[in-house]
Structure 1
Amino acid sequence: MPKIPKQITDMAARKARPGDTPYTLASGRGLFLVILPSGDKQWRVRFQTPEGKRGNRVIGVYPDMGVADAHKAAEALHQQVRMGERPEGLYDRQRAAKASQTEAEVAAQQAAEEARKYSFAVISDAWLEDRKPGWAPATYDKNVFIVRGRLQPVLGQADVRTLASKDVVPVLIRLAHDAPSVAIKARQCLNGIVEYCIVRGIRGDDQVLRLQRVLPRYRGGHIPAVTKVQGVGPLMQAVMAHEGRIVRGGLLLAAYTACRPGIIASARWAEMDLDRAEWFIPASKMKTRVEHVVSLPRQAVVMLREMQQYRGGEYVFPGVGKRGNPHLHRDALSKALRDMGFKGQHATHGFRAMLRTVARERMKVDIDVLEAQLAHAKADDVQAAYDRAKFEDERRKVMQVWADFLHEQAEYANVVQIKQA
């Protein structure tokens, strides 16, 4: 007497992994679960008619149909066969349901599918991926934050083919109330998404959004930065006294090199050549999309060698806190400055302005050397094509003088503080 297979458990069905070819798990009474290479899992039932004709039907898909329901459906199919009826499977039911739809229902379903295809959520994601190759990683992350974090939750279901100014203006105004700079960036994203639709024929050439004057007047300011010599000492004194070694190291590297916060936070050991005192930043991380070589002053090399004791991965500054980031988050640097009392006075990005201003006014450093250190893009394509000077030797000397200056100012601030005490 053949052995009757035991009913498979839900755990066995759930843990079944796809292979290179389909395979089955028997569950008794002609029911078995087919695991396809795609990962899909189908319930099938083998049957034999009273006339001896054999066949099988798909009756459901796991996990939409659980083990118990699959056995009930299998028994119902066997009963159909015993009664001489044509056994009905999943695809039979789907075809019957589709055939029973009215023309209006079919049209409504097609319209819903089209609306989803052209929904703001789908099209804005496509725009992000289209623009990603031309953006620096930090720029891409910023746009993802705006589009997916601020616009999609409100406009995600909107049809971009008919999206009008009146639909997005209230969204922008609400954003402007809480964060004016975010609203300005959101407006840029919306205009970019609409342009993406126009050039692809999703919208007509005249279907632009008119958002130029919809935001309340916002008097923007520069990123806060210490640009007076008198403020450099107290700032560096506070940074050097910060208790967190990793955050302190990130802030010091920002001060020594004037690189952008995102590049500082994501610095990799593979980019560092401490013997040559150079940091090779790949083009993929640069806003200009051009690789950048940064000279490391002696103080930076010393700090980086100290950081090697925390080396547990590829990043110079490993993640801190509970976020689980692989490397230090740029916001941790900004938060540290705020906590030290520099809110509204100096941000991490402000080290760039500090170098640009103080080194120019106090040390009379050539402006071209400073621009090369800051890796600013050339003014126009012609200048970029012909002026490729990087001033590496000059920058090496200037950045060492700059690091010495920062330490001198910190020591001077200590002396003043002691005298005042």
Structure 2
Amino acid sequence: MRTFAVLNTFTAMVNLARKQKYTFDKYAKLTVVSLVIGFLAAFLAVSLKHITEHYEEALFRESQHHSLYLIVFPFFGLSLIYILRQYLFKKKENKGIKEVFESTATGKNLPSYKIPSHFINGLLTVSFGGSTGVEVSTVVSTAAIGSLAQEKEKIFRKYKTELICAGITAGITALFCSPLAGLLFAYEVVSKKANKVFLVTNLLAAAIAFAFILIIKEKPLFAMNITQWNWFATPYFVLLGILCGLNSIYLTRCVMFFKGQFSKISGHYYKILIAAAIISTMLFIFPQLYGDGYHAMKESLLTANTLILTLPHVALFTALLLLKPVITSITLSAGGDGGVFAPSLFIGAFIGLFFASFLNTYFDAGVIPINFMVIGMAAMLSASIHAPFTALFLVCALVNDYTLFAPILVGTLVAKYSAKAIYPYTVYSLAPAKH
């Protein structure tokens, strides 16, 4: 009996040692692959961001000197994307972030060509005036890096979602200079659950991405100095959140409506011709809608606090808020690459500016318009993707200031839940209708 007891104890010790070795090897390999994914995703994100900024600025400047370019650019950009898709990217349309959801929900992997496909198509879409941003292009291409990594080692295959999220976390961290925004986006939007492996892989990916952007001295997009906010404005922050919630529903419905309508057009070149004609007309009248629109937001942030609302301003803001969802929807429906990140920030900024200027001009409310622009950005993004904490930390990082943390939190929560109560879908969760 004693012999059997000794044997059982020895066997148990051997099994424990094997289990500990397996666990150590697993986490050692996960550590290495997370750091590699994080670096590659951050490098890709920063590269796409700066290349797009350079060409978007150059082409937009030329279009302001020669209006004919506004007719040529959207047609050329959409046509080039179509040609590349037909002859280089396996005739597969980019579905945006839904591709990531499909991959994490099934055994289907994101193919490696999705890395150059979304990189190139996102660059072409925004540079040539397509009214969206490169954020979702970055998300899908960095997710594909994580998906590709998990295929390379058997031990990684049951952690596909975690490694895909690691790529996304690093990409968002690099784009917006915020590890918390990256981690929260991967959790709130993609994974919706966090286990030990998720925390290890994503924290490491965020850390290496953040270290990379610190080394290259990457700067926030809208760095500014916000000095104060007033408690008396809290009811206005709540109203702003509700306004952003309502506008997010309009954006979602627009995207789904136009995708449904364009899906009924036979012949992809007819789609491109129709879309390019509409996009060019809108850009000719409202150049603020060109590309991601960050140039218009930066200009408005500089003059926000001195703005006195006049009838031309009312007409301009109303047109921008009505037309931005339309031009974004048409860009995406005709084959452009992108999503609702940049459009949400744009719409939210101008809702905030319009609302604050209206209060100050007609009610002498004494609110600070630039604060409302920042809160509006976060509230609109929160309502559009149903991710309030992602929006909170992302926008604080965008402006490199956490002074407005509390009012932004109010705005993001009110926006999300007011939108969800009326229309419980986002562009990520709703399929386009075909009437």
Structure with the largest fraction of helix: 2
Q: Same fold (TM over 0.5)?
A: no
Please identify the structure whose Cα radius of gyration is greater: 1
TM-score by length of 2: 0.24
- The higher relative CO (CA closer than 8 Å, separation ≥ 6) is in 2
TM-score by length of 1: 0.25
